[in-house]
A and B are shown apart, each in its own frame.
Chain A
């Protein structure tokens, strides 16, 4: 328990700092209101807008836990959105459209996982293939145009709906987070993922099924990415093959790293990645809320600077250096 807390202390500190900053300059940041039976406020906005990245970060945590990485998740989002929109245009039932999109995500995950486990291609290369090809596939499905979804379609509830006052994307994320936490900690999946990421050869010697576990992790990732793609498409009521999920794989990887899971694999923390994703989304929202006084071009630079600080805070090497300097100056 205490080691979990120690692992999370820096991401939490960064988040607290960020929220404190907002509280100081935008007291309204912490206000909650009920508008038309819908909970609203900046915090709710952060979670709602951040739901796709949060979902990606959950899956990415497991992938990185095995010592892998998945660069194709943004492209899978685009494929899933395109599949759903195309199905809806052919007057498929909403449930079928959703199932088809999730199935496409699962297939993409199996593809990635097979390249990694059966063909032995390094994950960064294996998933790069789909990162490039996936967006092409999505464009083929949409014939290169933005496929609009009827604005009164029940499908759009995924992105815009509200249940008991809570936006549906947040509910989807919460369900995924809860389900995944149970899956990894109440079964031995978490142990196997950490063992494989910590020492693949030793895991093999101990009789762990390395291949199937790896494959399962990429499969889960594919399904979660498809869910993120559905939220994105439903939110704008359109499948935009060019822009849906663009660069979100990087945000997801960043969220995992900020959350304290090492890119080399092994010990992972879902909670840390969630905090990491919230940090990234809060940052975007904060910058936007100051946007009136700031050139837009600064956004990415500021984001990068904050991420750098969080990563430096986590570097035990740097901390050791700082404490040593401090002690010497005493």
Chain B
């Protein structure tokens, strides 16, 4: 057992025009959690795809407990004991938890029918053996994303996985769910599994990992014991020279004068089963942060404000105009813009070009008959591509082929083009690399300084605190606190989220 669980040596992978991996070494031991970090495009995904057989390497060796392996497909890798759990769980939502765990290996009765009782019993054992206590007969769809992910892990473990790759498992989980998943990961580590953990959240890297490998530009720039690597050193390894910029800057300081014009005012706004009633005031030149767990009503609130969902009651005034019947078109006409939480589902048209995606809202407001000419479109799109430093080879590239950070910037470009007075940003920095994240944060700051009114939602409390002047804390679909000035503190926010303040601010 002295051989490491997995050893990757000198891995090279070249795509047309890009050297994605340039001689990368990576070693995973038994019983360790090994974080793999790097900016988008650093080569994390490619390395994992090679390890799990989804991609073929051009050069290099992969050893499993000392013997060379050559998985051609993810199924082959799984047979060798290398399993992957992705951010978007790839299980069958309509089947039960037990069926998902046992899919393809269902216990049979004598005449070939599936023995449901045995299947449920077996699945129950596997799940509870991992500390996962769920009703295995309920459909997977009815479970939270966290439980779904743990079911995926359970499935992998039941298939004798020795190495487990967790690819951004926590990006759609809230703090409690993440803790649940981590408890499971620690348990598996105790059982001797090797776990590769990929994430954008640095806090989590330090919370769970034993060692950290940093990739940058297709090369391995270091493997360190987590406890020996200060956070700033890690960030500077990830970013290279840009490290100084990564140091937290104090933004959003100061308060907005109560005389600044009111851009948005909601009174008793609510929607059955979603959120509220709540009161909100948003003034020109301020960033109002929404903090709260997933499902606390953050996204539901901005969807109501933007007219995506119909409100059950309450009043809404935008730019001093009362809004009776609301819709996204009316919101846009009133000078509002929304960058939605799920940018792939509700933001982008992936097959259309960067130019077309940027122009969509502008053209939508002009109507079909008054098409903006090709030259004007190119000029406008090019201006915003440059202003937001969207990296794309040309304006006609399908937006679905850009990285997450650039996709988010395309959505921002679409709205900034409209010169909105109110900008609603729902998780604008989720799942994007640190460089793009900082650009978006400082952009928000600039826009605020120019007088825009902004609502900023992020699951990352540090970020909310950093960019906002005022923070509304949501819990159980209600606004439970409003923090300004020196109260804007991660610790304070957390106390309110956890409900430990005895309701004195309510």
Binding site for B on A (CB under 8 A): 3, 186-189, 191-192, 194-195, 198-199, 201-209, 213, 266-267
Contacts and interface: CB of A to CB of B under 8 A. Distances in A.
B351 A267 contact: yes
Interface stretch (B3-11, B341-349, B385-393): B341-349
Interface string B323-334: 000001100100
A212 to B, nearest CB: 9
12 contacts: A188-B363, A188-B368, A188-B370, A194-B351, A194-B352, A195-B356, A198-B350, A204-B308, A205-B346, A206-B361, A207-B364, A207-B365
A209 B329 contact: yes
Given A206-B361, A207-B361, A198 B347 contact: no
Given A202-B345, A202-B349, A208-B364, 18 more contacts: A187-B370, A188-B369, A188-B370, A191-B359, A191-B371, A192-B363, A194-B349, A194-B352, A195-B356, A195-B360, A201-B345, A202-B348, A205-B308, A206-B361, A207-B361, A207-B364, A209-B367, A266-B352
Contact of B348 (A188, A189, A194, A199): A199
A205 B352 contact: no
A124 to B, nearest CB: 22
A201 B351 contact: no
Interface residues of B, number: 31
B121 interface: no
A207 B362 CA distance: 9
Contact of A206 (B350, B360, B367, B396): B360
A158 B16 CA distance: 54
A186 B351 CA distance: 20
Nearest to A189: B368
Nearest to A264: B351
Given A186-B371, A195-B352, A205 B366 contact: no
Contacts of A195: 349, 352, 356, 360
Contacts of A213: 368
A235 to B, nearest CB: 35
A247 to B, nearest CB: 31
B335 to A, nearest CB: 12
A3 B365 CA distance: 28
Contact of B338 (A187, A192, A205, A209): A205
B368 A205 contact: no
A52 to B, nearest CB: 28
A272 to B, nearest CB: 15
Contacts of B351: 194, 198, 266-267
A187 B371 contact: yes
Interface in B365-423: 365-372, 396, 414
Nearest to B348: A202
Q: Which of A206, A208, A213, A267 has the most CB of B within 10 A?
A: A206
Given A195-B352, A198-B350, A206 B345 contact: no
A203 B360 contact: yes
Name which of B345, B351, B372 has the most chain A CB atoms within 10 A of its CB. Answer: B351
Contacts of A207: 328-329, 332, 361, 364-365
Contacts of A203: 349, 360, 364
B4 to A, nearest CB: 32
Interface hub of B308, B347, B360, B372 (most chain A Cβ within 10 A): B360
A38 to B, nearest CB: 40
Nearest to B359: A191
A191 B306 CA distance: 23
A227 B29 CA distance: 72
Nearest to A192: B368
B459 interface: no
Enumerate the 8 nearest inter-chain pairs by beta-carbon distance, A residue then B residue, closest first.
A198-B349, A207-B364, A188-B371, A207-B332, A206-B361, A208-B364, A199-B349, A206-B360
A187 B366 CA distance: 11
Contacts of A188: 363, 366-372
A325 B26 CA distance: 31
A209 B414 CA distance: 17
B276 interface: no
Q: Which of A199, A203, A267 has its CB near the most chain B CB atoms (within 10 A)?
A: A199
Interface string B186-200: 000000000000000
A203 B347 CA distance: 8
A56 to B, nearest CB: 23
A205 B346 CA distance: 7
B346 A191 contact: no
A229 to B, nearest CB: 27
A325 to B, nearest CB: 14
B340 interface: yes
Contact of A204 (B328, B350, B366, B370): B328
B418 to A, nearest CB: 9
B350 A199 contact: yes
B300 to A, nearest CB: 15
Interface string B421-452: 00000000000000000000000000000000
A195 B346 CA distance: 12
A213 B368 CA distance: 9
A205 B340 contact: yes
Contacts of A205: 306, 308, 328, 338, 340, 346-347
B328 A187 contact: no
Contacts of B372: 188
Contacts of A186: 371
